[in-house]
């Protein structure tokens, strides 16, 4: 079974590892000249420089952590149609946008900005954060899939928000999970990372406060038939890379209504159900003693990172895959 659904993120976008530590002016110059980053970094003061960041970068969606003992300033050096979602852990950041509007976000706050509106940013000494950038195209597709609309107008997302709601805490955790996932050469067997990337976009759109109109939550009931159709579609496509939006399209629902239907009828999200069913298949195959290693079976069902797989397996079955109970 297949779908004509166009993916939320490009299927073969290049992804690079972000790993930079800057302690000298020569390193700062090298970062600005060849770091493949859309901003130039400058010293906060003449008393030295320290910047460290680590994560993963692609044209459509990037995630990383930033730490600086010295503080720094940045300014755009090329056009980029991106939105930035930043959770501040320590220190403060000032964002200078159009019309000399200065936005300050501090410890334990979160910031949403458009890269095209950025003139300068300042990070204080001791600043640290976890950040995601999402392209305008992916954000638009996410809004359309979530709300079941063809509108090309994005909601007006608030600039500075309190990140302590359960939904924003979940978004922050997803950014962290993506940032911490190991990276290597492009791995077509990895079926989990694309789901987390898609989930990040939907979590942001659903959870981030808006000004004026928004996609909004739905209280509509969802019939059993489309939920059953979604389950059947998932079961028929467990071994390949599928998106939640693709499942929703196959069931004739928006992503939001699909999420609502799964939550009310199954007590979990579509992503949780999909990953859980893949874990069930691994569990079943491991009990057949067919000579395959745990890693081979796990990779066959899309779990290419064993530390992540072991954690998920233990959470679902109460033991690691190396301690199966065959009684």
pLDDT at 84: 96
CATH class of the domain at 1-191: mainly beta
Cα angle 78, 81, 85; round to 5: 105
pLDDT value at residue 185: 54
Strands (E), 143-254: 156-157, 160-161, 210-211
Backbone angles phi, psi at 243, to 5 degrees: -110, 155
Question: Whole-angstrom Cα distance, residue 188 to residue 93?
Answer: 38
Rounded to 5°, angle at Cα 254 from 251 and 260:
90
Domain edges within the chain: 1-191, 274-317
Q: What pLDDT does residue 2 have? A: 40
Please tell me the predicted confidence (pLDDT) of residue 287. Answer: 87
- What values do phi and psi take at 110, rounded to 5? -130, 150
**192 neighbors 305 (Cβ within 8 angstroms):** yes
**Per-residue confidence (pLDDT) for residue 216, from 0 to 100:** 52
Cα Rg, the chain, nearest whole Å: 21
Q: What is the per-residue pLDDT for 68?
A: 98
**Quick check: 277 and 288 in contact, CB under 8 A?**
no
C-beta of residue 177 within 8 angstroms of C-beta of residue 203: no
- Closest to 83 (Cα-Cα) out of 139, 153, 138, 133: 133
Q: Which residue has the tokens 């949403």?
A: 112
Q: Give pLDDT tens digits along the chain (327 positions).
A: 344 556 788 776 678 889 999 999 999 999 999 868 889 999 998 889 999 999 999 989 999 999 999 999 999 998 889 999 999 999 999 998 766 568 899 989 999 999 988 889 999 999 999 999 999 999 999 999 998 777 788 999 999 999 999 999 999 999 999 999 887 655 677 899 999 999 999 999 999 999 876 555 555 678 899 999 999 999 999 999 999 999 999 999 999 999 999 999 999 999 999 999 999 999 999 988 677 889 999 999 999 889 899 999 999 999 988 755 443
Place of tokens 């990383």: 64
Residue corresponding to tokens 């990895």: 190
Nearest to 203 by CA among 131, 243, 256, 137: 256
pLDDT score for 219: 59
122-136 as b/e, with b when 16 or more CB fall inside 10 Å? bbbeebbbbbbbbbb
Query: Backbone phi, then psi, for 133, in 5-degree steps?
Result: -120, 140
Give me 130's structure tokens. Answer: 């976890």
Q: How confident is the model at residue 222, as a pLDDT?
A: 84
- The token duo for 268 is 């979990």
Q: Determine contact, residues 50/127, Cβ cutoff 8 Å.
A: no
């Amino acid at each position: 079974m297949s779908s004509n659904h166009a993916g939320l993120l490009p299927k073969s976008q290049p992804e690079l590892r972000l790993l930079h530590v800057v302690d000298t002016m020569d390193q700062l110059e090298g970062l600005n000249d060849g770091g493949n980053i859309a901003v130039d970094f400058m010293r906060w003061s003449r008393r030295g420089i320290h910047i460290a960041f680590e994560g993963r970068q692609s044209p459509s969606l990037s995630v990383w952590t930033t730490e600086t003992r010295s503080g720094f300033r940045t300014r755009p050096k090329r056009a980029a149609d991106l939105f930035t979602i930043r959770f501040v852990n320590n220190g403060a950041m000032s964002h200078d946008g159009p019309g000399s509007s200065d936005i300050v976000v501090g410890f334990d706050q979160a910031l949403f900005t458009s890269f095209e509106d950025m003139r300068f940013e300042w990070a204080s000494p001791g600043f640290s954060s976890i950040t995601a950038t999402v392209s305008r195209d992916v954000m638009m597709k996410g809004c359309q899939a979530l709300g079941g609309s063809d509108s090309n107008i994005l909601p007006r997302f608030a600039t500075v928000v309190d990140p302590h709601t359960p939904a924003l805490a979940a978004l922050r955790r997803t950014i962290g999970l993506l940032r911490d996932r190991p990276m290597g050469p492009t791995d077509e067997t990895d079926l989990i990372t694309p789901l987390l990337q898609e989930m990040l976009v939907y979590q942001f759109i659903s959870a981030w406060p808006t000004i004026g109109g928004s996609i909004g939550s739905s209280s509509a009931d969802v019939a059993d038939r489309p939920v059953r159709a979604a389950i059947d579609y998932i079961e028929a496509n467990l071994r390949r890379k599928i998106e939640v939006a693709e499942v929703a399209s196959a069931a004739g629902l928006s992503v939001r209504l699909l999420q609502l239907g799964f939550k009310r009828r199954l007590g979990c999200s579509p992503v949780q159900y999909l990953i859980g069913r893949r874990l069930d298949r691994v569990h079943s195959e491991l009990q057949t003693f067919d000579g395959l290693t745990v890693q081979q079976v796990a990779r066959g069902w899309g779990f290419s990172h064993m530390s992540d797989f072991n954690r998920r397996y233990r959470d679902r079955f109460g033991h690691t895959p190396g301690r199966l109970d065959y009684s």
